[in-house]
Structure 1
Amino acid sequence: MSIERRHQVFVSSTYEDLREERHEVIQALLELDCIPAGMELFPATDEDQWSLIKRVIDECDYYIIIIGGRYGSIGPQGISYTEQEYRYALETGKPIIAFLHKTPANITAAKTENNFESKVLLEELRALTQKKMCKYWETSAELGSVVSRSLVRLIKTHPMPGWVRADKAAASLAAEEVLRLRKIIDDLKEKLNKSLFEVPEGVSELAQGDEVFPVAFEFNTDDENGEVWNFTRVIRISWNDIFEDIGALMLDGLSDHEYQEGLNKIVETDYIGSTEMESDEELKGHDSLRNFSVVWRDEQTIKIQLRALGLTEYNSEISKWKLTPHGSSVLLKLRAIPKGYFDQIERVDETSGVPEAPEVPV
């Protein structure tokens, strides 16, 4: 469905000497259902003049400049407002057409420049505009006709958004835009969802999986006389084992304190009854191992490593550590029970009478 658009056109020129010509141009634009814009059409305002001009040019779809026999008064920039407008339209990439008087020598003296400097600047402006699309005219009536034909062609070769009635836009343009944006959103969502479950770049270079990490920790115990002793030890735990346990605690999120307690519990569970503990001569005669605490440096290293592996992330809005979608996927593979798992556990080794512990596939 085609939508009726009205294009806004900025008309730039000197004013007093081209009053009749501007009238013809504006009439031609109105007949083309265009919206003419020029400084004489705007009410007095407290807004800075050049700021207003730029804003109006920005809002226009096309820019035309009419050059007769006058250059115009020179502004603070050392050039006339007409040239300043033209250069700004060039700079902002507006589709432009210049309409130059064909024979400036035939223009009456009252409508030409007497100042030598202004004459030079006028010639320079004519030369500048002729580097882009330009047309020539002799009379005001001819100018109106030339503008009409030229603008119709420019609109075809350089289509611009124009202005659309709100009700028309709501009925058609907005619907098309909504469909286009919805397609973009759906594509981005699909890409985002895929990326969330993908392994982050560079992870292959990091320690992970069954590689072990030496975790230093401290704990207290009592000797046979009831005296309290402090010990520091190291236990080697694989990254999978660390994540399998701490990740299970993150389903609803963990605060920093809860994260610390979780790591302490993992170390305590792994160490008590381990071969490292049983063979530790210094612990002979000591009971009640308690107050396990991972040293601060290793605690931070574990947090950073799991985050670098894309398994966890810190949600600052709720001040908690959470599993990433990728982390959730990895945890499911580590912790989910495969089909037939308990059937395998029930099988008893004939020689030892000890149930076999089948491996959980990762």
Structure 2
Amino acid sequence: MIDKRYHVFISTTGADMQAERSVLAQTLASLGFFSWGLETRTPLTTAFARRQIDDCDYFVLMLGSRYGELSASGVSYVHLEYIYAITKQKPVFVILHESPETRSPDFQEKTQEGQVKFQDFRRQLQRERDMVVTFREPRELEVILRHAMPQLTQRYPSLGWVRPNDGPMQALQAENEKLRLKVQQLTTLGRGRSTARPTPVDAEVEQAFVDIEEKPAPLEVPVVRGDEVVAFDYRVHAYQDGNFRELRPRRQMSWNELLMAMGPGFRPPAPEEDFARIINDYLNISALGDVKDSMPRAHATARCQINIRALHAIKMQLKNNKWIVPVGRDEKHRILWGLSPQGESQLNKLMAGQRLETGS
């Protein structure tokens, strides 16, 4: 097995997040990741930070209760790093403090303008990113990372880094050399095969032709019917008698129901990151019924977040069914997804049927 390591750029707001940053760096190191990042920033460090982001495999942003030190443009350095990472299409994992207002006054923004910018940035992260988690105490970060980083690397595979002098790497180089020789032989055969008795190498190349011709095509994810049901978990804050609990209910929906819930969110087309926002907004409206079993007197729900794996599966299926297709890019070079003619037709048919049922 090849010992692959990944580089992670950590973006935080500075001294107010020192304890959390320390836990983050130590946990990443224990998981086999290299962590980079800058604790203090000036206009002179911006170019260095961008070079680190260029070379990193993953970008982790952790936000407490501050917007961060401002650049000359009035945007915080953390915000600028986030924008740059997005433009470079780096996989982004966001960690937010669950209740920033409860942190020490020393860790709060001192001005009204700073507080507004912080809240706007926090909402932007929750709206744009699909991998967003919250924490209360620094000690929770280790558990969060041990759970989330394997999902991040599986969902967004990266080249990473492999030690150049270890045994597995040498074996890989030897295999590459063997394949190179095979390609040369295949090229020779393509120009015309000799009638002479084949050598062992020729026989191996002939077998390679057979293997290529007989190798079956990879299986595709099947197209689902609209009435088929999918189950998924999500996290929600449920409020009852002045208190709240974090619950993890399980929801079952048909693919038609999911299309009706998410389809309007792609009119007009929206970037990939909006998948999470669209379904979380829908869950925020409809989650109350799911929590009644465990909290019968619950009167409100908020902060719904669908399970990351479930979100990925739903996105893949909507795309595989060709209900949602790429239609271009926005000004940030992000791929925009919109309803296909097939998806538009299906959604209109479902909405018409719903209006007939409700009599509206």
Q: What TM-score results when the alignment is normalised by the length of structure 1?
A: 0.47
Q: What TM-score results when the alignment is normalised by the length of structure 2?
A: 0.48
Bigger Rg over Cα = 1
